[in-house]
Amino acid sequence: TSYIRLPKIQKEGYVNLMLDTGAGCTVLGETDLKKMDVEISSLAEAPNPIAGWGGKTQAFILSDICIFLTDDDNQCQLFEMPEIICGKNPKGKKGKSRMGVQRTWNATIPSVIGRDFLLRHNLIVHIDVAEKDIFLASKLYANTKSENRK
């Protein structure tokens, strides 16, 4: 869980951000914006929609974001972003299930940390599958660890 502060509009709250190395940009989903009492339609519309596995959806721009991430030792670090994209939840799609029952599928746009965040803050993603461990680290930390291994 991360904590997000939006100083320009005086809103804040906890958000579950997923790391998505396939995402070019960091995104806040409409559901998480609602948790912070932010109406997505009050934001400036982005020139292009968000496109992903599920298709395209309307995008908006949020500026001056403070993201607080906490590590396993309960140390909190602030990361600032000049702007991020916010994704509107697409309208439910109607269709029939395999059994022929009429259904409506509702999708939500997830909140994700994208590559723009990693690049801006000079972070690397450390993944150790054998140890079932994944974490973000500064390049300085990573370089220090590699030097110690030599």
How do the pLDDT tens digits run along the chain, 150 residues long?
A: 799 999 999 999 999 999 999 999 999 999 999 999 999 999 999 999 998 767 789 999 999 999 999 988 888 999 999 999 999 998 766 666 667 777 766 778 999 999 999 999 999 999 999 998 888 888 766 555 544 444
What pTM did the predictor assign?
Answer: 0.82
31 neighbors 50 (Cβ within 8 angstroms): no
CB 39 within 8 A of CB 28: no
What percentage of the chain's residues is helix, strand, coil (to nearest 5)? 15, 45, 35
- Cβ(45)–Cβ(60) under 8 Å? yes
CA atoms within 13 A on the CB side of 102: 1
